[in-house]
């Protein structure tokens, strides 16, 4: 309507920033602004638990503190324990600071300290009721610190509170000044709970003598110490993160740096950050046929369904031809990087050995990817397992999308939801995922392969190092499907058969993450089991299943424990602290809700606890599996250890 304002819906970033601001204001303050007041019945020490400094040498009862510890310094680059870091016999520090580096040509720094102090005062007529209040006073100012070898003498910062001082030390090392600066509260107090002797919302920062001039340089790299392998690793990391320098290290606090816009290897300001914050940039992957950095990827076949068809029925040349551009593109990218390594803008001149090693390791990886493709051309069993893995992943991706829709819209028929989810965008590998699968095929297909042998110098473990949401799990699941399939095509060895036993072990250290990843992996196992049921002659008569092993307080150890839990549940009683077989709240294949009293059944004669879907369209329902042996009915999940 004309004249009325329209409120915009905030996005996730705005909501996150506002929540962060509110939490910081609540724990760090000042909640009511620079000149806040609040009744004396509330102690500032209880209101603000972050960013405060105790009176010097105060002995504080640890039971009265929420958290905190002195920062011990062992690295010569980070300042020494004496005299830069004051010794405090309590959990509440009386000083905080940082160490930064500037060129030796810089003769002084401008240091700014700021804090708040709280004193009792009579309430204003418009202030809070109750007579007296805590009134905040903003303290601090900037002082100039001369740089010369040795200690930086204590300097009072604010005449209104002269016992709060800035002090530190300067040392010359490798052509720079290493400057350690501290803000210290030298107030004395006979009481552990006297807020007027504490200082709050403490900040300490430094700039060059001229405003806006970037004088801070990266701290010297620490390569000395440790064995040769450790030193080599430090140099590799220094090369990899050469454009993300460390300008300062905090003592008893985190730090921040404001890089110069003209040069990312210079900083204008460094300072303390009681509550550190870092915006983690999105890590993109080459995922587009129009990627300017890797144009060769346009010819790679990345559709899981299409790769399955090529592996199952297409000519061998069609499958390998669809995959080889991944190798040629990678090698072309390596060549381009090697050719530009000498470009001054890349700042690699200090790392010649590390550049050489990185190029060599990249070429070895390209050779291993090519070996995986060559294996698919030469080994029909590996090719069949690759087709199985891609078809299982295709079904897993489609049913994941379909199940998510049916959780929100339960009345949607399963067939309709699957058809709507069967879109190419939903079942495409990212290039790095496909490369990760291919690079591991030879060792997984051959139990005697050198990469999995007893020789530790030749054995290889490949690790995907990627942020959350980058696609690690899908790559792992692809290898899981291939491992399950290829074992069932390999010949039996004395006492060993690939159709039985444990094929893949997945370990997660957080319970919520364990359950989430268990649900994702369960969808893949459902896909693999449907493929096995459709062709047991090829993939064996033993069911493909997944188990959850997380201890008896989460899942039952024994079949009888599961029966007891269900009996108590049906009686309406709670079994807290007892393992539950109800770990899947919905069917991973179709999204139908799983009710423990209806869908979980204990078959004591078969030592099985079955989880069945209630949707008759689902192959893992009681109807879908009524012709199967009891051991194979229901979802292919094991939630009881026994």
- List, for residues 495-532, the tens digit of each pLDDT value: 778 888 899 999 887 777 788 889 999 999 999 999 99
Across 383-399, average pLDDT: 98
Given this model, what pLDDT does residue 531 score? Answer: 97
Residue 72 has pLDDT above 70, yes or no: no
Contacts 24+ apart (CB under 8 A), 80-85: 80/169, 83/151, 83/169, 84/168, 84/169, 84/180, 84/182, 84/251, 85/182, 85/251, 85/252
Choice between 355 and 2, residue whose per-residue pLDDT is larger: 355
Contacts of 419 (CB under 8 A, 6+ apart): none
Asked whether the whole model's pTM tops 0.85, one would answer: no
Choice between 581 and 314, residue whose per-residue pLDDT is larger: 581
DSSP codes joined into one string, 578-634: S--S---SB-TTT-PBPPHHHHEEEEGGGTEEEE-BS-TTSTTBTTTTTTS-GGG-S
Residue 291 has pLDDT above 90, yes or no: no
Which one, of 151, 155, 173, lies nearest residue 165 by Cα? 155
Given this model, what pLDDT does residue 581 score? Answer: 93
Across 332-356, average pLDDT: 94
> What's the Cα-to-Cα distance from 162 to each of 168, 549, 634, rounded to whole Å?
17, 61, 75
Chain-centre distance for alpha carbon 180: 32
Choice between 184 and 491, residue whose per-residue pLDDT is larger: 184
107 and 147 Cβ atoms separated by less than 8 Å:
yes
Contacts of 125 (CB under 8 A, 6+ apart): none
Across 382-386, average pLDDT: 97
Residue 584 has pLDDT above 90, yes or no: yes
Please give the torsion angle defined by the CA atoms of residues 186, 189, 192 and 193, in that order, rounded to the nearest 10 degrees.
-100
- Identify which of 35-49, 50-64, 293-307 has the greatest average pLDDT: 35-49
Confidence label for 492 from pLDDT (cuts 50, 70 and 90):
confident
Task: Please provide the average confidence, as pLDDT, over all residues in the chain.
Answer: 88
Given this model, what pLDDT does residue 642 score? Answer: 86
DSSP class of 425: G
Residue 331, token pair as written in the block? 């090698």
Across 68-76, average pLDDT: 36
Chain-centre distance for alpha carbon 82: 36
Phi-psi domain of 258 (left: phi exceeds 0; alpha: psi -120 through 50; beta: other): beta
Contacts 24+ apart (CB under 8 A), 597-601: 597/566, 597/569, 597/570, 600/562, 600/566, 601/634
Residue 480, token pair as written in the block? 């899981």
Confidence label for 45 from pLDDT (cuts 50, 70 and 90):
very high
Confidence label for 292 from pLDDT (cuts 50, 70 and 90):
low
What is the helix, strand, coil percentage profile of the chain, to 5? Answer: 35, 20, 45
Choice between 314 and 269, residue whose per-residue pLDDT is larger: 269
Contacts of 324 (CB under 8 A, 6+ apart): 370, 373
Contacts of 473 (CB under 8 A, 6+ apart): 517, 520
Other CB atoms within 10 Å distance of the CB of residue 482: 25
137 and 198 Cβ atoms separated by less than 8 Å:
no
Other CB atoms within 10 Å distance of the CB of residue 578: 15
Given this model, what pLDDT does residue 69 score? Answer: 33
Choice between 60 and 47, residue whose per-residue pLDDT is larger: 47
Residues 376 and 378: their CA atoms lie apart, in Å, by 6
Q: What is the pLDDT of residues 467-479, one digit of tens each?
A: 777 889 999 999 9
Given this model, what pLDDT does residue 78 score? Answer: 44
Residues 532 and 535: their CA atoms lie apart, in Å, by 5
Q: What is the pLDDT of residues 541-583, one digit of tens each?
A: 999 999 998 888 889 999 999 999 998 888 877 766 678 999 9
Contacts of 284 (CB under 8 A, 6+ apart): none
> What's the Cα-to-Cα distance from 55 to each of 58, 90, 226, 590, rounded to whole Å?
6, 11, 39, 63
- Give the gyration radius of the chain's Cα atoms: 32
Of the chain, the percentage scoring pLDDT greater than 70 comes to 90
Establish whether the linkage from the previous residue to 295 is cis, with ω within 30° of 0: no
Residue 318, token pair as written in the block? 């069609």
Q: What is the pLDDT of residues 615-634, one digit of tens each?
A: 999 999 988 777 888 888 99
Residue 65 has pLDDT above 60, yes or no: no
Confidence label for 7 from pLDDT (cuts 50, 70 and 90):
confident
Confidence label for 605 from pLDDT (cuts 50, 70 and 90):
confident
Given this model, what pLDDT does residue 131 score? Answer: 78
Given this model, what pLDDT does residue 446 score? Answer: 92
Phi, psi of 361 (to 5 degrees): -65, -35
Q: What is the pLDDT of residues 73-99, one digit of tens each?
A: 334 344 444 334 444 445 689 999 999
Other CB atoms within 10 Å distance of the CB of residue 504: 15
How do strand 546-547 and strand 637-638 relate by DSSP bridges?
parallel
Across 269-296, average pLDDT: 76
Choice between 237 and 63, residue whose per-residue pLDDT is larger: 237
> What's the Cα-to-Cα distance from 314 to each of 310, 371, 406, rounded to whole Å?
4, 20, 34
Residue 442 has pLDDT above 70, yes or no: yes
Which one, of 161, 271, 144, 112, lies nearest residue 153 by Cα? 144
Given this model, what pLDDT does residue 48 score? Answer: 96
Beta-bridged to residue 179, according to DSSP, are 100, 170
Confidence label for 68 from pLDDT (cuts 50, 70 and 90):
very low
Q: What is the pLDDT of residues 132-155, one digit of tens each?
A: 899 999 999 999 999 999 999 999
User: C-alpha angle 358/361/365, rounded to 5°?
Assistant: 135
Given this model, what pLDDT does residue 67 score? Answer: 33
């Amino acid at each position: 309507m004309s004249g009325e304002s329209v409120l915009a819906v905030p996005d996730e970033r705005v909501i996150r920033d506002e929540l962060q601001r509110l939490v910081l204001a609540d724990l760090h303050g000042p909640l009511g602004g620079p000149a806040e007041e609040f009744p004396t019945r509330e102690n500032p020490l209880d209101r603000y638990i972050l960013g405060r400094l105790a009176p010097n040498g105060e002995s504080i009862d640890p039971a009265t503190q929420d958290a905190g510890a002195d920062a011990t310094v062992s690295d010569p680059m980070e300042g020494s324990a004496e005299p830069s870091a004051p010794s405090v016999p309590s959990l509440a520090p009386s000083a905080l600071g940082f160490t930064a580096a500037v060129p030796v040509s810089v003769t002084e720094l401008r240091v700014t300290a700021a804090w708040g102090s709280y004193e009792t005062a009579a309430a204003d007529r418009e202030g809070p009721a109750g007579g007296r209040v805590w009134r905040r006073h903003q303290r601090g100012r900037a002082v100039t610190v001369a740089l010369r070898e040795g200690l930086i003498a204590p300097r009072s910062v604010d005449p209104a509170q002269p016992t709060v001082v800035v002090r530190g030390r300067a040392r010359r090392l490798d052509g720079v000044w290493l400057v350690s600066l501290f803000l210290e509260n030298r107030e004395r107090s006979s009481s552990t709970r006297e807020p007027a002797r504490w200082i709050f919302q403490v900040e300490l920062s430094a700039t060059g003598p001229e405003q806006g001039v970037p004088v801070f340089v990266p701290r010297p790299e620490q390569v000395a110490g440790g064995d040769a392998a450790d030193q080599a690793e430090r140099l590799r990391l220094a090369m990899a993160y050469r454009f993300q320098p460390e300008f300062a290290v905090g003592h008893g606090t985190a730090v921040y740096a404001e890089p110069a816009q003209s040069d990312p290897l210079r900083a204008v300001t460094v300072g303390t950050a009681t509550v550190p914050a870092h915006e983690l940039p999105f890590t993109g992957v080459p995922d587009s046929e129009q990627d300017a950095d890797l144009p060769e990827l346009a010819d790679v076949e990345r559709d899981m369904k299409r790769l399955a068809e090529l592996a199952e029925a297409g000519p061998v040349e069609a499958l390998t031809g669809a995959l080889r551009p991944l190798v040629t593109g990678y090698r072309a990218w390596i060549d381009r990087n090697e050719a530009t390594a000498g470009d001054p803008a890349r700042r690699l001149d200090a790392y010649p050995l590390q550049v050489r090693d990185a190029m060599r390791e990249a070429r070895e990886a390209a050779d291993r990817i090519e070996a995986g493709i060559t294996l698919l051309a030469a080994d029909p069993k590996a090719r069949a397992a690759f087709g199985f893995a891609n078809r299982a992943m295709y079904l897993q991706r489609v049913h994941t999308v379909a199940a998510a829709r049916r959780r929100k819209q339960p009345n949607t028929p399963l067939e309709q939801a699957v058809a709507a989810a069967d879109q190419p965008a939903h079942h495409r590998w990212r290039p790095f995922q496909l490369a990760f699968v291919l690079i591991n095929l030879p060792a997984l297909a051959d139990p005697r392969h050198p990469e999995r042998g007893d020789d530790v110098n030749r054995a290889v473990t490949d690790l995907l190092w990627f942020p959350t949401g980058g696609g690690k799990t899908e790559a792992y699941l692809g290898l899981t499907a291939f491992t399950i399939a290829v074992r069932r095509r390999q010949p039996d060895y004395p006492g060993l058969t690939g159709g039985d036993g444990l094929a893949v072990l997945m370990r997660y250290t957080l319970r919520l993450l364990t359950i989430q990843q268990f649900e994702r992996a369960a969808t893949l196992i459902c896909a693999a089991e449907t493929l096995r049921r459709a062709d047991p002659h090829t993939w064996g008569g033993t069911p493909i299943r997944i188990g959850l092993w997380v201890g008896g307080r989460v899942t039952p150890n024994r079949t009888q424990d599961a029966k007891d839990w269900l009996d108590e549940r049906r009686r309406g009683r709670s079994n807290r602290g007892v393992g539950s077989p109800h770990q899947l709240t919905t069917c991973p294949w179709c999204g139908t809700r799983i009710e423990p009293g209806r869908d979980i059944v204990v078959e004591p004669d078969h030592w099985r606890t079955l989880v069945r879907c209630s949707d008759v369209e689902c192959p893992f329902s009681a109807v879908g599996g009524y012709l199967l042996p009891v051991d194979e009915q229901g979802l292919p999940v094991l939630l009881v250890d026994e």
